[in-house]
Structure 1
Amino acid sequence: MNERAQSVRDEPRWAPALAILVVLGLLAVLPHHVQVMPVWVSYVVALVVIVPMIVVTLTANTLWMRIERTVIMLLGAAYIANTAAELADMIGIITLHPPETRAVSLLSSSLAIWVTNVLTFSLLYWQIDRDGPSARASGATTKPDWLFPQTAAPEVASPDWQPVFLDYLFLGYNTATAFSPTDVLPLTRRAKMLMMLESTISLLTLVIVAARAVNVIP
Structure 2
Amino acid sequence: MLGLLEVLPHHVQIAPKWFSYVIALVILVPMAAVTFSAGNALFWQRAERIVIILFAAGYVANTTLELADMIGIITLHPPETRAVSLLSSSLAIWVTNVLAFAMLYWQLDRGGPSARESGENSPDWLFPQAATPDVASPDWRPLFLDYLSLAYNTATAFSPTDVLPLSRRAKMLMMLESGIALLTLVIVAARAVNAIT
Report the TM-score when normalising by structure 1. Answer: 0.87
Q: Could you say what the CA RMSD is over the residues aligned between the two structures, in angstroms?
A: 1.1
Q: Deviations over 1:144-187 (max 9, x none)?
A: 00000010111111111000100000000000010000000000
Residue number among 61, 66, 77 corresponding to 1:81 in the alignment: 61
Q: Which runs of 5+ in 1 are unaligned?
A: 1-22
**Conserved 8 A contact 2:73-2:81:** no
Contact 1:126 1:165 in 2 (8 A): yes
Matches within 5 A, 1:115-194: 115-137=95-117, 139-194=118-173
CA distance in 2, matches of 1:99, 1:120: 33
| Distance in 2 (alpha carbons) for counterparts of 1:116 and 1:84 | 13
CA contact (8 A) 1:146 1:186 kept: yes
Aligned 8 A contact 2:124 2:167 in 1: yes
- Of the candidates 19, 40, 56, which is equivalent to residue 41 of structure 1? 19
Question: Which residue matches 1:58?
Answer: 36
- Distance of 1:93 and 1:131 partners within structure 2: 40
> What does the per-residue CA deviation read over 1:116-162, in whole Å, with 9 as the maximum and x for residues that have no partner?
1110111100000001001012x131000000001011111111100
* Number of positions where the alignment pairs a residue of Structure 1 with one of Structure 2: 195
CA distance in 2, matches of 1:129, 1:62: 18
> What is the SS of the residue equivalent to 1:29?
coil
Q: TM-score, normalised by structure 2?
A: 0.96
Identity, in percent, stands at: 75
Q: Which runs of 5+ in 2 are unaligned?
A: none
